[in-house]
Chains A and B, each alone.
Chain A
Amino acid sequence: MKKLTFDDVKDILVGCTILSTGGGGDLNKGLKMVKEDFENNLEYKLISLEEIEDEALFASPYFCGSIGEEGDKGNYSKYTKIKKSPAVVAVQALERHFQEEFSGMVSIEYGGMNTAVAMSTAARLNKFIVDADAAGRAVPDLQFSTFYVSKKSITPLAVADDVGDIAVFVQVVDDFRAEDLVRSLSVVSGGMVGMVDHPLRGKELRKAVIPGALSYAQMVGKAQRQALKEEKDPIKEIIKAVKGYLLFDGIVKKDTEWENKGGFTLGSIEIEGKENFTGQNFKIWFKNENIISWRNEKILVTVPDLICVVETDTGYPLTNPFCKKDMQVSVLGFKAPSVWRTERGLSILNPRFFGFDVPYIPIEEKLK
């Protein structure tokens, strides 16, 4: 077990945001939440998968939102907001359901916001933060999680809004139905609910998530922070820290074009090369997260490998759809966590799922 300092947590969240391939929520909101916790002297206790107890109970808390909902559905605004975070309320509701306390919280996917919610919820309830993640990147759909790959049940799951309503799902047809139902509740609950799902015993959890995922993200965030402090090139330092690849350097051609469709943000980023890439161009297509990239009109890196856009000068992550015209950016590539490269992993997260009829070629082969 390791107690994290504020800088440690910040490194983890910056790292998660860089590795979240454009998604994962608002880093600033995540940092604000964590800052509040440290001001309240809460402890962030990181525990490795080796250290957790076999029979202890763990679960993943996060926020589930519905984008683009208008109006005050369900007359929601007239209700008094509760002070607690809905994710905290949801965890406590699930504990009452189990009649047992959870030992720790697990991040459902990398993201400046999502990972922060998991960590902060753990801190607020004096629980462990498990050094692991269920995606090792950010993912646009529910089924892109290692829980799904390893066939772990999403239920029982608890949902709470920020006025005091609580529901526990005891049984669902599948994860997709769970998502539909939770989303329908969020639509009439101010557009956002806190939830906690995938309750698992330690011995099952070990086989169902990516080990060391937060430490890995921390290496990325730390490399970025120290590079700036020591006036080194943050891009090079990040790449060195976790064996990444520089895919492109350049200037964003125009403001990102995007649309909201079925609850997702879809769009593309176009970059014109400079320095070693002068005269070349780069394009990324995203569905919340960066899915596929082309260098000079030829497919380069695709899911499940990671395509990450950062500011060239600072190495600071850029989330979708916030790439603006004339920004100087670098595109980094990283190997996907090994679970996504297994047969079952690839059968779920691959370019074809998103409508691109091309085979997946691992980044290290592509960039040999």
Chain B
Amino acid sequence: MKKLIRQDLYDILYGCTILGTGGGGNLKKGLSLIDKALDDGKEFNLVNLEELPDDALIVCPYMCGSISPLSEEEEKKYADLPRIKEEPALKAYKVMEEYIGKKFYGVISTELGGANTAMAFYVAALSGNYIIDADPAGRSVPELQHSTFFINRLPINPMVVANEFGDVVIVKDVVDDFRAETLVRSMAVVSKNSVGVVDHLASGKELKKAVIPGAISYALKIGRAYRKAKKENSDLALEIAKAGSGYILFRGRVKDFQWEDKDGFTIGNTYIKGEDDYFGTEYKIWFKNENIIAWRDQKIDVTVPDLICMICDDKKEPLTNPNYEIDMKVSVIGLPAPKEWRTDEGLKIFGPRYFGYDIEYIPIEKCFKELDK
């Protein structure tokens, strides 16, 4: 067990944002949740999978949103409703515990991301429970089934859904994970576009086989490398690539970007014009919430499940989609995907073909030379 201090927590969330490959939610919101809990004297305790008792009960808390615009009538309706004092995800956690009738041991994050990982941490801290050093994605992912829970057939139900007004629903049975997501999202639409969810109740024994171990420690390592490089004014992208056994893919300035909201996803392209070593070349990244495929001079460079991460060199901060500005100086980093994604089954649901690109996945280390360490 390791007690995480504020610096660790900040490092983890920065690491998660880098590993968020453009998605994973708003880092500021995540940091403020952590601050709130620390200021209330709450503790964040991390345990690894080996320490996890077989009979411990673990759940996965997170926020699920929708981005449908609110009509004036809806705004008015929501304004008149009461608000609960606690975070909806925490409320959902408490109702789930009551429903199951047993004390929970801890929580696991639903993906690595600036906001989503923070919400899981917050629920653990406020309920006095443990954070498991693991994750079902080991990065951020655009869709529900992009999860080792899904690959390992860990049931998603029962789920508890709660909103900021105090409505609480237990989704007891679902036909499959897709219906689960559809139902939860439809409730978000009538809950000011946001609900707290708790799902994937599992015993320690079940969980050990169904997640990526050490994922939080990995985020911490990346976040620390980032912080150290920033403090020492050294090359951010290089230090992050080193920490994650990855590669620098490109450096340059944002030439153009476009995006649209489609069926709840932020879909678009980022175009970067090369500078320095990359002068005279161009880079393009296609994203669906997360960065999915990158091309260098129209030739495919890196694809999912490997990670395509971006750093803004002007602000020295990780970048999330679609928060670009023209002429922004950026570095693109490629990191190898957790091995769970590189299996046949992993690639079937989270390889380039899943996104409609009929190309073979080539592991990033086969395309690039090792960095000078």
Contacts and interface: CB of A to CB of B under 8 A. Distances in A.
B183 A167 contact: yes
Contacts of B179: 74, 79, 163, 165
Interface stretch (B164-172, B242-250, B340-348): B164-172
B186 A185 contact: yes
Interface string B154-188: 00000000000111111111110011101101110
B82 A93 contact: no
B37 interface: no
Interface string B21-57: 0000000000000000000000000000000000000
Given A75-B178, A173-B81, A166 B173 contact: yes
Interface stretch (A39-47, A117-125, A176-184, A291-299): A176-184
Contacts of A171: 95, 166-168
Contacts of A169: 167-170
Contact of B167 (A75, A172, A188): A172
A358 interface: no
B169 A167 contact: yes
A263 interface: no
A79 B175 contact: yes
B120 to A, nearest CB: 22
A181 B169 contact: yes
A164 interface: yes
Interface in B70-96: 81-82, 95
B165 A164 contact: no
A187 interface: yes
Contacts of A165: 171, 173-175, 179-180, 183
Interface residues of B, number: 26
B190 interface: yes
B168 A170 contact: yes
A170 B173 CA distance: 15
Interface in B85-122: 95, 99
Contacts of B67: none
A163 B175 contact: yes
Contacts of A164: 173-175
Contacts of B172: 93, 96-97, 166-168
Contact of B170 (A79, A168, A189): A168
Interface in B180-214: 180, 182-183, 185-187, 189-191
Interface string B240-278: 000000000000000000000000000000000000000
6 contacts: A96-B172, A165-B171, A165-B174, A167-B169, A167-B183, A185-B183
